[in-house]
Every structure is written in structure tokens, then in C-alpha cells.
Structure 1
């Protein structure tokens, strides 16, 4: 599969972004209650899959920017990634495993 990131790759990217050396958006596609329970530090947007096609419009101006998606176990984010490619987003990545395997900073 193309455009897949490991947890370690995302952690490295988040560290580089803190230093101004990486530019991307981190998007959680889980539901609000899941997000409020736990999410990755540095998440820029919550765009739940339950109303994805309407909610994704907030990212319309970022169609060429690198966007990393995650969910609980990488299933919903994979569906979201495919949908975003269909909608003309060119640089979308899916974090493999999902937040259940994430061992970096969370909130």
C-alpha cells in the first residue's frame, strides 16, 4: 500500500515539525468521544468518519499539503485516505496500527 507511515515515522515527523523542519497536518478521523478520551499530541484536526464528506471541506485549501491520518486501529484512516485521494488530495498518509499502538505523547 502506498503512503503508509509507521508509528516511529510519525513520531520523527512530529519532532521535526516542532523544530520547524517538517510541515504537515495531523488528522484524527475517529469520533469526538474517542478523541476526548485520548489523542496524539500535535493533532491539528478532528474529522470524524461519521460525516467525513461534509467535514473534510475544512481541509480544501490544503489539497497539496502533506496530511497524516490516524484512527484507533488504522481501518477508518485507510478508508478516509482512499476517499481523500478520490477528492483530489495529493499527499495523504495513513499511520499504520493506529492510536492503540501509539507510544508517543498523547493527551
Structure 2
């Protein structure tokens, strides 16, 4: 049986990762770059990279195709655009980038360290009404909060 982190590592043989400063450079160099945030809508509403598109991981594959209720036309037409996939920590985005590549997207990368790293690099995040999110609020949001029942038994 493969564990979660092993699944991520197995996808990394095919998925390119970029760091937050690389994304900043890519945004400046390519105004057509598409940032796809695969977190859930509530996570996206709390904070996201300005101009990013929210396509939750659970509907990503159908959002990439015509004729589904989840279809996102901009994403369907983006098979030849540069795409950077983001999530909270950089794990879901690896899985999502792998799926996009399997579905024929040609220029896909995952944001290593996710939005947590983006916030640590002090890059802009906005809330659901596009108002700036304070870096310290981001720090609090991205701090892992595990319940006791979520921790490995000793």
C-alpha cells in the first residue's frame, strides 16, 4: 500500500515544481499565465493569490472538459497556456498538476510550498472581496492545527 507522501513523490517524477519567487517572475514575464487554486471554495474565499481561478481538486478533471456542470471554459481552453497549480502546502497541487498533464495540458507546474510558502515570501493574498490579507493573518491561517485524534498513535 502506498502512503500519501509516497503518492506525491511518485507524481514528482513527471510534475515540475516552482518556488514562490519563480511564480512571481513567471507572472511578470507571462501576463497570460493561469494560476489554478485547487483548494476548496471556503479555503479560497479566506485567501488566495489575486487573479487566480478556483477549481477544487474534487472536480478538476471534469472542469477541464466541455459538457459537464463543472466545466470551466477558461480552463478547457488553456491546454497550451502556462499554468501554475496552487494549494495550501503544495501537495494537492502536485496531484492536480499530474492530472492536468495526463489530460493533455502542456505547460503545467505546481507551486512548491503552496500558499503557505507564498505567504512566507510575503507575496500578496486577497480575501473573497479582493481585499488584501495581512501577512500575519496568513501566518495564523497556515499554522497547522491538528486535533489529538488526527495524530499518529504512540
TM-score (norm 2): 0.61
Aligned length: 101
Residue 88 of structure 1 aligns to a residue whose secondary structure is coil
Aligned residue number for residue 13 of structure 1? 26
Aligned positions of 1:42-57 closer than 5 A: 42-43=51-52, 45-57=53-65
The aligned residue for residue 94 of structure 2 is: 78
Equivalent position of 2:42 in the other structure = 33
CA contact 1:48–1:55 (8 Å) conserved in 2: no
**Alpha-carbon separation, structure 1, partners of 2:44 and 2:37:** 8
After TM superposition, give the deviation of residue 24 of structure 1 in Å.
1.0
RMSD: 1.3
Match of 2:85 among 25, 46, 69: 69
CA deviations on 1:47-90 (whole Å, 9 max, x unpaired) are 10122222233212111111111000111100001111110111
Unaligned 5+ runs, structure 1: none
Distance in 2 between residues matched to 1:3 and 1:75, nearest whole Å? 12
Deviation digits for residues 25-55 of structure 1, max 9, x if unmatched? 1110000000000101221x11101222222
5+ residue gaps, structure 2 = 1-11, 66-71, 127-154
SS in 1 for 2:77: helix
- Select the structure of larger CA radius of gyration: 2
Which residue of the partner structure matches residue 93 of structure 1? 109
